[in-house]
Amino acid sequence: MNRHPQWWVVTVAAAAWIALAATGTHAGHHAPSSYTAWILMSVATAVPMTLPAVRHVYHNSIRVRRQRATVVYLVAYTMVWAAFGAAVLGLAALLPLHIVAPPAIAVTLLIVAGVWQLTRTKTRALHACRRTVSLPPQGRRADVACARFGLMQGRRCLVSCWPLMLLMALVPMHLAAMVVLAAFMYAEERTRLGREMVRQASALLAVAAIGVAAFT
Amino acid sequence: MLTSQLFQGDAVLQAIADDNDRMSRRRHGRGEAARKIQTALLTWNPGVLPRFGADGKYGDETAAAVRRFKIEELGVAPADVIDDVGPRTVNRLDEIQAAAEAPTPPPPPPPPPAPTTFIRRDVWTLQSAAPWDPITEAYARAVRTMQARPASDPTSWEFQAAMHATFTTPANPLWNGCQHASWFFLPWHRMYLFFFEKIVRAAVIANGGPADFALPYWNYDQPNPRNTLPQPFREATLPDGTPNPLLQAAPLRDPGIATGAELPSVRTSSTRAMNSTVFTAPAGPTFGGPASAPSNLDGGFGLLESQPHNIVHVLVGGRRPDSATDCSLARMTEPRCAALDPIFWLHHANIDRLWNRWLDLGGGRANPTDAAWLNQRFSFADENGATVQLSASDVLDTVAQLQYEYDDRPAVTPAPPIVVPVAPRAELIGATEDAVAVAERVTVPLLIPESNRSRFMDLARDVSGAFLSIENIEATHNPGVVFDVLLNQPDADADPRRFLVGTFTLFGVELMNNPDFVHEGAPGMNHQFDIADVISGLLAMDLWNPDTITVTIEPVPPPAPPGERQQTVEELGIEPIHVGRIALFAMERDDLVS
């Protein structure tokens, strides 16, 4: 428990994947047609990426506050994704997106994601993934600092991978495709190879765009 | 007495040698004696009997050969030559034949081979008698040679310095490789020095210097004068009167250090680092630094890197104004300029030496065995300018793998280290509530929550370790001064040595601030100090109390040039640095828990 303080956070993320699989449409295609689905998807994909920060919060809080601090951090972190989802789904409802074929949206967003990989902003966002906020030991200040840390990390993560999250928000896709995208984002954030190959990964996204265009 | 095997025992030749007989066309003109004379003449000059060779007949050809021998070998005037064989001719031919029969003399001894182990020596030992020694002078001349090479040449001074870090853009792929605040700090700098030394040695040999050249090291943690900048780095000229490339006058170096001010032993001592028995650990201060991916600057420093490494960089480099954006001043203070100062390499040789000496201490001290540490490869340039790669596993044994050692290697090989299972469990005990800005002496309270008061008092027990963590330190630039950290110092006048927890610097903060450099904790630098000993002292003075614990951070004025007044903290006028949090952690090790 002390060595793996994030165990229940992993459980929550796993539960979100199971819920996504269980509530899928008959054809096995998923799209966050509801806001609830978007929240499930955010928890399933974005929470695993922030586990090092969860560990940091846990180990930098006094013993009696560790779980509370972790919850405050995660709520703030998830709120960033919730706000992003609300904005995206709200806009999508207003725009005549239904006249555009989903594969066309997917190809466009994969190309955008590929170009985004080449930007300095993207690289900087990844480099800053271990930036922290100092946590006071107790009281309201400690809660505020945990919340600030969660918002900061959520925002940084959003800057890093918004095109792919947008893709998952707007395009109905098979659960397997969602797993692949989540694994891609996880590798970038959490593995050395992923961080070193940011620009090269652009080619993978280009291949994916061509694949979608050719086979749909 | 005839000595050649050919002539020995021949009665006719012996009689001639004794001047009792002679040889000519008519006397002894046919037979073995004549053949032997012909053979010896051919030994003298293989072309002297072209037609008949050694046929045993004393004819015109032999007579002409004897005549020529007498003129050329015996120096007889041509008019006086008689073409028969007398004692002088036989004796001289005997000598020539004997020399030819002797076994081939052994070839001259080969030049002494290059030493199998190069010895890096204490620079102050080299210069005990005079400012210059063959090694330091050879280094100076090699530096000059390398400085004359174009920056595009991997063996040039500029290229080598840029491999650490550089302001120059666009960067060569081999540049900006330095590893700091990471467990790769020690192996990366060992590899860096190893190839640099090869480049310097090649230049030394090309300049006619000693073939066994090895980088000297500067061990500043010794009494005066050894705690001052070595003399060859202060001389205006080399022995031949040419400018000294090792000299970097102020403002390239701190004005005090450049002119012989002492480095204070309290800040150059490696004792805290050497006392640590752990190279790396998930939490708490360690000898070698926290595990990390390759990165210019990760979040936390190893103890040896923090002190003396960072501190000596800043003390030697000196003050650097916020406006400085190049290498025209305070080079050692800024990682992008540091390796341009020739003393950089002697400083790092000392750090590398201390790594070896730490392992020699035994008691569980050992290098990491993690594959991620052992197998991470880094690229450098060798003495031919070719790109080469090494990993930590290639540089663990300096003698067997890299052919060098330091002159203070212990005579007795230490016993293999005992591996102590270490699983530190760090737990936050208390911390500051607000960020702290430090431009002069600042004292802040540590808040110890009610729930942690008994744990706080337990820190004075042996089963617990404790460390103080100075976290998320941010500044736009490294101001080029060091900062002392004191625990529960009652007032400014109390003896600071009793409460000193350690000293930190902001060496590398510019790289951390740069969002384009590869780093993982940035911005936000962390320094950790083991405080078990200080706690014992405070407990003895009845000053270990959760209600009154404070931490003082104080910028330290640089050492004054000899004979000049020491600056006060107020006169420093540094831009404030920001400390995000100061935190007190308890650390329990599995092997210490009873």
Whether A120 is in a domain gets the answer yes
Contact residues, chain B, for A191 at CB < 8 Å = none
Min distance B181 CA to chain A CA atoms (Å):
14
CA distance to partner chain A, nearest, from residue B434 (Å):
7
Between chains, do B580 and A134 touch, taking CB under 8 Å as contact? yes
Which of A2, A132, A135 faces B524 most closely, judged by CB atoms?
A132
Q: From CA A42, how far away is CA A32, in angstroms rounded? A: 10
CB contact under 8 A, A137 and B431: yes
Report yes or no: B447 at the A interface, CB cutoff 8 Å: yes
**CA nearest to A182, candidates A192, A196, A194:** A194
Cβ of A132 within 8 Å of Cβ of B426? The answer is no
Which one is predicted more confidently, B517 or A132? A132
Does residue B425 belong to the interface with chain A, where contact is any CB pair within 8 Å? yes
Q: What is the pLDDT of residue B298?
A: 74
Q: Which of B370, B425, B427, B549 to mutate to test the interface with A (most CBs of A within 10 A)?
A: B427
B584 touches chain A (CB under 8 A): no
Interatomic CA distance for residues A110 and A166, integer angstroms? 10
Which one of A133, A136, A192 has the shortest CB-CB distance to B431?
A: A136
> Please, which residues bridge with residue B443 across strands?
B552
Omega of the bond leading into A102 within 30 degrees of 0 (cis): no
**Among the partner residues A2, A61, A124, nearest to B425 by beta-carbon distance:** A2
Answer whether A127 sits within 8 Å of B520, measured CB to CB: yes
Nearest to B229 by CA among B348, B349, B343, B354: B343
Q: CA-CA distances (angstroms) from residue B107 to B99, B111, B113?
A: 16, 12, 16
Name the phi and psi angles at B284, rounded to 5.
Answer: 90, 165
Q: Which of A60, A134, A138 sits opposite B447 (nearest CB)?
A: A138
Q: A44 or B424: whose pLDDT is higher?
A: A44
The SS3 call for residue B488 is: coil
Q: Which of B179, B182, B447 to mutate to test the interface with A (most CBs of A within 10 A)?
A: B447
**Chain B residues near residue A2 by CB distance under 8 angstroms:** 425
Q: Do A128 and B435 touch (CB under 8 A)?
A: no
Residue of A nearest to B431 (CA): A137
CB contact under 8 A, A130 and B299: yes
Report the C-alpha gap between A10 and A4 in whole angstroms.
Answer: 10
- Residue A125 touches partner B, C-beta closer than 8 Å: no
Q: Would you call B293 and A195 a contact, using CB atoms and an 8 Å cutoff?
A: yes
Q: Please say if the pLDDT value at position A87 is more than 60.
A: yes
**Measured between CB atoms, does B63 come within 8 Å of chain A?**
no
From the list B430, B522, B581, the residue facing A134 with the nearest CB is: B581
Residue A2 maps to a domain: no
Q: Which amino acid is at B255?
A: P
Q: Count interface pairs A-B at CB distance under 8 A.
A: 75
Asked if residue A98 belongs to a domain, the reply is yes
Measured between alpha carbons, how far is B179 from B158 in angstroms, rounded to an integer?
19
B chain contacts of residue A195, beta-carbon cutoff 8 Å:
293
Across chain A, mean pLDDT equals 87
Residues of B in contact with A131 (CB under 8 A): 521-524
SS (H, E, C) B213-281: CCCCECCCCCCCCCCCCCHHHCCCECCCCCECCCCCCCCCCCHHHHCCCCCCHHHHCCHHHHHCCCCCC
- Please indicate whether, in this complex, the C-beta atoms of B429 and A62 are within 8 angstroms of each other: yes
Determine the residue type at B562.
Answer: P
| Closest residue to A141, CB basis, from B294, B299, B433 | B433
Q: Would you tell me the crossing angle of helices A35-46 and A66-94 to the nearest 10 degrees?
A: 130
pLDDT of residue A168: 87
Over the stretch A158-215, which tens digit does the pLDDT of each residue have?
Answer: 999 999 999 988 888 888 888 999 999 999 888 877 877 888 889 999 999 998 888 8
Q: Is B523 on the interface with A (CB under 8 A)?
A: yes
Below-50 pLDDT ranges, chain B: 417-421, 521, 591-594
Structural domain includes residue A135: yes
Which pair of tokens denotes residue B435?
């960020």
pTM of the model: 0.80
List the single residue in B with minimal CA-CA distance to A131.
Answer: B521
- Nearest CA distance, A131 vs chain B (angstrom): 5
Q: Residue B294: list chain A partners with CB under 8 A.
A: 192
Q: Is A4 on the interface with B (CB under 8 A)?
A: no
The highest-confidence range among A1-5, A59-63, A165-169, B51-55, by mean pLDDT, is A59-63
Q: How far is B517 from chain A (nearest CA, A)?
A: 8
Contact call for residues B280 and B290 (beta carbons, < 8 A) = yes
SS3 A128: helix
Architecture of domain B11-101: Orthogonal Bundle (1.10)
Residue A1 lies in a domain: no
- A11: closest CA of chain B, how far (Å): 24
Instruction: Give the position of tokens 């003895």.
Output: B540
Are B567 and B557 in contact by the 8 Å Cβ rule? The answer is: yes
pLDDT, mean of residues A108-134: 89
User: Which of B429, B515, B524 is closest, CB to CB, to A124?
Assistant: B515
Distance CA B38, CA B56 (A): 7
State whether residue B520 sits within 8 Å of chain A by CB: yes
Nearest residue in B to A124, CA atom: B515
Share of chain B above pLDDT 70, in %: 93
For residue range B210-230, what is the model confidence (pLDDT) as tens digits? 999 999 999 999 999 999 999
Q: Residue B551's beta-bridge partner residues?
A: B444, B487
**Rg of chain A in Å (alpha carbons):** 18
pLDDT on residue B518: 60
A68 shares contact with chain B (CB less than 8 Å): no
Chain B touched by A140 (CB under 8 Å): no
CA dist B248 and B252 (Å) reads: 6
Q: In chain B, which residues have their Cβ closer than 8 Å to the Cβ of A127?
A: 515-520, 522
Residues of B in contact with A130 (CB under 8 A): 299, 520-522
Let me know if residue A162 belongs to a domain.
Answer: yes
How close does chain B come to A156, measured CA to CA in Å?
13
Averaged pLDDT for residues A70-97: 91
Q: Which domain holds residue A150?
A: 7-215
Question: Which has the closest alpha carbon to B270: B299, B300, B305?
Answer: B305
Which pLDDT score is estimated for A25?
46
The CA–CA distances, whole Å, from A141 to A52, A69, A146, A147, B491 equal 22, 11, 9, 10, 29
A144 is a domain residue: yes
Specify burial of residue A21 (Cβ count, 10 A radius: 0-12, 13-18, 19+): middle
Q: For B371-381, write each residue's pLDDT tens digit.
A: 999 999 999 99
> Domain spans of chain B?
11-101
Q: Domain count of chain A?
A: 1
